[in-house]
Structure 1
Amino acid sequence: MSKRYLRAAALAAAILSALGTPGIAQAGPRASDMPDRVAVKPDANARAALEAAARSTDQSPQRIGGSSMRAAGKCDPLSQAHGSETVICVTPLQSGARPTKAEVSQQTIQPLPDWCYDHAFDDWWATRTQMCMIDAWTVTVTRTVNGVVTPIGGFDYNGYNYSYTSADMSTWASQTEIGMYNPWGDIAGIQVSGASSCTGACINGGADFPSQPVVPGAFPGGEAFFTSTATTRGSEGRASTTLTYYFTKPGATPSTPHDVPTPDVRCDHKLPGNNTVAGCIVYGIAPVMTYSLTTPYPELAAHIRDAQATGIPGSPFGGSPLHRLIDPTLQQRNRDVACPDSLPRPPGKSCDEYPMASTWEGAATGVNNYSWRMIDEAQNSNGGNAMNTFYRNMRLLDWDAFYVGIVP
């Protein structure tokens, strides 16, 4: 077994041991039935390893959507009162105070990726193993007397939402923090607390999101860890997770629970080969395999560049994606069509086909839109090995989309 396999197995075992077997999560809780629950978290080493693994890829983020603002309802103090004259309402802002890494990084549970700040107030952005969203909200405290609703205090806040996983571990984490600004009026005693839930192929470890004061300069929040149930060989499963929080104030009706649903996570144990482990990725992100025109496979890169220039798919710069093909018999058919034995191979050269034989867009399984070229044999072989490593590291299953980018 490889060192990577042993490392991943050990880390997964540590996290699964820490999570234990809490029940499969139910639908998101209401404010009135969000119990105080001791969250089950991995130990510090396993948690750090999970976070480090999530940051280990060099993929650029993509906009994935799924904003919690879709679920934001209108604030109706009269219907929310439930016998209390004072009510807390939460409504969305189109854009909040632009955050900076320096303002937030020292307070966060886990530091947000640098690119998260570049895409503040623009929904969820994600790589294959990380997703982040900074959104903006306003809290208004109202008092109702004789049917007349009067705002008596409030504040704006940014929500710092981050979720991360690993391609060789079956666990992922989500966190949410509140950055308050523009306070006014009677907001004394306001606190925030939360809970976690998940649906699909997942086990919820519970949220570490105790009641905390909401004051300027602090970043109250919480985190939760989840583990996949799709861990047996050949299994695959998707899960959606939610952190739910609400605001309270002495003598006031709490706010309605505010859900922060993340885009889906997909976990599997389906990669081909024997030396694999279960792992998870952000579902719906098409990763990019990059080749350079200078090193170490310049002839391979030049062939792909020229092929994409003719309209063959796969370029991340406006082209349609390629899709992984795992069936070895179909892969061989693609090779036989694009690079038949009848093509002469000059000394030191071998036949390179694009799209690759390991894609559904290949010469036989695609639409007869392909290119071949004789290139340096070592570059062809080693470049192919690099592609196989990319498939494994990105957990690309059959029909998963990806791109091939060519850089100088």
Structure 2
Amino acid sequence: MHRNYQGGCVRRKVRAAIIVSLSVLLAVPAASVASADSDLPPLLSPSEMPTGQYASADIGEQPVSAARRAASSTARALSQSDCVEEEGGDGIAIRVCNRELTPDTPQFDAAVVAETRAASTARAAASSVPADCANAPLDGKTFVGDRTNVCGSKLNQLIIEQRIDGVWVVTGQNTSRIYSYVYTSTDLRTWVHELYNVPIAVTGTAVGWWFYAQPDTSYCGAGCRSTGYDFEPSVFRLGYTHVGASCWQADVMTPGQVLPQLDGLWNWWYENPVTHLQASKSYAYPPSIRCDNALPARVPGCVIPGVQAGIKYNAAQLPDWSRHVILAQQSGLPSVLTRSQLESWNQANRATSCPDAAWLPRPAGYQCDEYPFASTREGASITGAAGARTFADCQVNLRYPASVGASGYSICMVPKEQNELAGSQINTYLINPQRVLDGDKYLVAFQ
């Protein structure tokens, strides 16, 4: 289920005997969330991705802010070595280790991952975990989704040991799958980070431990603040999914302002309700959010910039124009372009690829079309030193040898109506709805 975020912060209660649909939303008690923005509508509803919009399915590892990098290092240090020990008055020593199992940790075992993936996926499907998370890898750092919704997951183990005759012996263990689900809106300066802990197994002295979670506002970054959160601590047990929702907001931005890396993290831990012994805290750290007020005639909004933007053109609607771009890509020119908002570059690109009619005549009713587009950093004046190329039926006579491969650019005469419609669709389906700014990469594809 794809989340069409409309603002606000909500809580969804999950109980063992009740599967709560993501389309059913419960109001948040006033005591749970303190928000300074009364104009934010507290509604969420499922929606499909807009027609014409393309989004990468895998953002992989992306550059992160210093705050998130510090949180990541802390979490991995805890995963590898940090355990809490307690010496009881009766001489019994207890050691508790909270480990996140990712490919970077020595305890990561591919066999364990394979064994638990099916179990955790089945339990997640029978709980409130969003369907967007169904294909989330278990590596703890690869997120799947689009520019406004992403999800990632990782395995976690709580290991309890007792020292017997000088030897540490495991007496209890729980295993769970932790999901981080983040969603925002291109028309709002707010976002939500949901945390899900899906128990897979619990044994021995780990039975009865409680799971706690709380947002960490110290990593939010400049221009970002928390507007509240909702989480109910509860005993870790099979058949119960622990759910938390933390809500965040970017500050008011002046025209042209961009807040490039905003982070809303959860930290979480386990605690023994009798002894109050706590396992070390760990972090759920999703990709950064970017909010901006940099698009003309658009309200401020946010995206997940680590997800590549893109547009899928309807080749049947634009047959001549599409043929040119497809042939250009097939000849070696890139399908992933980089937006340029520097008008001097863009004008130079147009002048290089499509000079005036005295140099490059236009048939009646046709316009000169260039690829890569003039409004990109791959344009003719920037990366086109190898020169132009063209194709049969393009009505272009090159005065120099044609370029080949990834270097150069392509030109073709296409009907005026198709060229102008293709240009307008860049704004309609790419620049505005996906908030593609200067330096953002995007895919040009066809359907």
Whether TM-score is above 0.5 comes out as: yes
SS of the counterpart of 1:46?
A: coil
Equivalent position to 1:379, from 418, 424, 432: 418
Residue in structure 2 matching 1:333, options 348, 356, 359: 348
Please tell me whether the aligned partners of residues 215 and 246 of structure 2 are also in contact (alpha carbons under 8 angstroms). Answer: yes
State the partner residue of 1:269: 293
Match of 1:31 in 2: none
Opposite residue 323 of structure 1, the aligned amino acid is T
Query: Match of 1:253, SS?
Result: coil
Q: Aligned AA for 2:409?
A: Y
Larger radius of gyration: 2
Supply the distance in 2 between the matched residues of 1:99 and 1:233 (Cα, whole angstroms).
49
- Structure 1: how far apart are the matches of 2:435 and 2:230? 29
Give how far 1:62 is off: 1.6
Tell me if 1:299 matches 2:338: no
Distance 1:332 1:213 in 2: 63
- Kindly provide the amino acid, as one letter, of the partner of residue 167 in structure 1: T
Deviation at 1:350, TM superposition (A): 1.6
**Distance across 2 between alignment mates of 1:102 and 1:168:** 35
Give per-residue Cα distances to partners, 1:29-76, cap 9 Å, x unaligned: xxxxxxxx9433688983434x65795555242232379664543355
Instruction: Give the TM-score of the pair, scaled to structure 2.
Output: 0.73
Partner of 1:21: none
Structure 1 counterpart of 2:305, one-letter code: Y
Q: Confirm or deny: 8 A CA contact 2:82 2:280 kept in the other structure.
A: no
Q: Which moved more, 1:328-337 or 1:176-185?
A: 328-337
**CA distance in 1 between partners of 2:300 and 2:97 (Å):** 42
d(CA) in 2 for partners of 1:202, 1:171: 9
CA offsets 1:82-110 (integer angstroms, 9 cap, x no match) = 768444322133423335766424532x6
Displacement, 1:338? 1.4
Once the two structures are TM-superposed, the CA of residue 244 in structure 1 deviates from its matched residue by 0.6
Cα–Cα, structure 1 residues 71 and 297, in superposed 2: closer, same or farther, change >3 Å? farther
Aligned residue type for 2:177: N
Amino acid aligned to 2:348: R
Conservation of the 8 A alpha-carbon contact between 1:87 and 1:252: no
CA drift at 1:191: 1.1
For 1:193, the equivalent position in structure 2 comes to 212
Equivalence for 2:96 = 88
Alignment of 1:171-182 (within 5 A): 171-182=190-201
Report the 3-state secondary structure (helix = DSSP H, G, I; strand = E; otherwise coil) of the residue aligned with 2:322: helix
Shift in alpha-carbon separation, 1:239–1:45, aligned structure 2, 3 A: closer
- Aligned match of 1:27: none
Amino acid paired to 1:284: G
Q: Which moved more, 1:302-311 or 1:59-68?
A: 59-68
Give the drift of 1:366.
Answer: 3.1
**Counterparts in 2 of 1:55 and 1:303: CA distance versus 1, 3 Å:** closer
Amino acid aligned to 1:325: S
Deviates most, 121-130 or 92-101: 92-101
Letter matched to residue 394 of structure 1 = Q
Shift of 1:266: 1.0
Tell me the distance in 2 between the aligned counterparts of 1:230 and 1:45: 14
Q: Distance in 2 between matches of 1:209 and 1:148?
A: 38
Q: Among residues 283, 286, 299, which one is paired with 1:259 in the alignment?
A: 283
Distance 1:302 1:48, change over 3 A: farther
Q: What is the 5 A alignment of 1:232-251?
A: 232-237=254-259, 238-249=261-272, 250-251=274-275
Whole-angstrom CA distance in 1 between matches of 2:191 and 2:49: 13
- Cα 1:82–1:329 shift into 2, 3 Å: farther
Matched, 1:158 2:177: yes
Cα separation, 1, equivalents of 2:306 and 2:369: 29
Q: Distance in 2 between matches of 1:105 and 1:45?
A: 30
1:353 aligns with 2:370: yes
Aligned CA RMSD, in angstroms, stands at: 3.0
Q: CA deviation at 1:136?
A: 0.9
1:279 aligns with 2:301: yes
Structure 1, unpaired ranges of 5+: 1-7, 17-36, 316-320
Which of 33, 41, 45 in structure 2 is aligned with 1:39? 33
Whether the aligned pair in 2 keeps the contact of 1:86 and 1:251 (CA below 8 Å) is: no
| Alpha-carbon separation, structure 2, partners of 1:226 and 1:195 | 13
- Could you say if the C-alpha distance between residues 43 and 254 of structure 1 is closer, same or farther in structure 2, counting changes exceeding 3 Å? farther
Equivalent-residue separation in structure 1 for 2:135 and 2:294 (angstroms): 35
1:361 and 1:74 map into 2 onto residues whose CA distance is 44
- Deviation track 1:369-391 (CA, whole Å, cap 9, x = no partner) reads 21111112211111111112211
Q: Distance in 2 between matches of 1:365 and 1:326?
A: 14
Q: Does 1:74 align with 2:80?
A: yes
Aligned residues: 362
In structure 2, give the amino acid aligned to 1:309: Q
- Tell me the distance in 2 between the aligned counterparts of 1:152 and 1:44: 52
- Name the % identity: 25
Mean Cα deviation higher: 229-238 or 94-103: 94-103
SS in 2 for 1:168: coil
Are residue 398 (structure 1) and residue 403 (structure 2) matched? no
1:4 maps to what in 2?
none
- 2:120, 2:177 within 8 Å by CA — same for their partners in 1? no
Match of 2:43, SS?
helix
Structure 1 residues 55, 193: closer, same or farther in 2, change over 3 A? farther
Distance in 1 of aligned mates of 2:180 and 2:224: 20
One-letter identity of the residue aligned with 1:265: I
Query: What is the CA distance between 1:395 and its match in structure 2?
Result: 0.9
Give the superposition deviation at 1:141.
2.0
Among 60, 63, 70, which residue is 1:64 paired with? Answer: 60
